[in-house]
Amino acid sequence: MRAYPLSGCRRCAFLGIVSLGSMGSVAHAAGVPLMTMSVGSGGAQEYTVPIQILIIMGALTLLPAALMMMTCFARIIIVFSLMRQALGLQQSPSNQVLIGLALFLTFFIMRPVFDQINTQALQPYLDGQMPAMQAVDRAEVPLRQFMLKQTRQDDLALFERLSHQPKPQTLNDLPMTTLIPAFATSEMKTAFEIGFLIFIPFMIIDLVVASVLMAMGMMMLSPLVISLPFKLMLFVMIDGWAMIMGTLAASYGL
């Protein structure tokens, strides 16, 4: 009988079924029910440990998207990319360096929010003081407050209108499906505004160098070759890295 190779989606589905079956076999051998749900105090739904593990593993696949769209990471990496283009550099600093720097700067700026999530949701859940779903609701509160503080009102109004949902009584009642795209749009707007201000001094240097070369009749020489050392010297003299990072941190109220 001829064997047909599995495609990517079929392979993932097959591995998921095998993993679920293996977990079910282990749970059955140990005498632990796999898929059960109980109703706790206050009507909260509590799932068994295997189901909680599956939910956590599924949530981890969304972690990169949540990091980019629900934190300050998008604004930081866009500003860094525009700064590199303004300097006229192609591959220095490399993408890996910029992403690593943006990641740690994101943790620095988001530390108060992460501390609140750890104190109000994660630690009580690990100590068994609250179910998983209640911990998720508690963790959403500081993250929602951070996003609402950085989101423009016109962006919120735009996505409220596009969602065709009844207008909420307060901003705290706004669904995350509306808040997240509005927050991401506001972050990109702010990042491009900062990038525009970064471009201005370097663009002036390019114009001056191009005018001097044209006046000297050196038409065949690229102005970027001459202006790049001057732009690097200016960036180092004004301590550009510290200035940009300080501006990004100050834009979030730090």
User: Concatenated DSSP letters for 154-167?
Assistant: HHHHHHHHHHT-PP
Q: Would you put residue 168 in left (φ > 0), alpha (ψ -120 to 50) or beta?
A: beta
Q: pLDDT value at position 104? A: 92
Helix (H, G, I), strand (E, B) or coil at 46: strand
Determine the distance from the C-alpha atom of residue 95 to the mean position of all C-alpha atoms in its chain, rounded to a whole number: 16
Calpha distance 144→159 (Å, rounded): 16
Q: Which residue shows structure tokens 């000297």? A: 216
Calpha distance 200→151 (Å, rounded): 26
Residue by residue, pLDDT tens for the chain (254 residues) are 444 444 544 554 444 444 444 444 444 444 444 444 444 444 445 555 566 666 666 666 777 777 788 889 999 999 999 999 888 887 788 889 999 999 999 999 989 999 998 888 888 877 778 777 788 788 888 888 899 998 998 888 888 888 888 777 777 778 888 888 899 999 999 999 999 999 998 889 888 888 888 888 777 777 777 888 888 888 888 888 888 998 899 888 76
Q: pLDDT value at position 60? A: 67
Q: What number of CA atoms fall less than 13 Å from residue 83's CA on the CB side?
A: 24
Q: Which of 60, 101, 72, 107 is nearest to 184 (CA)?
A: 72
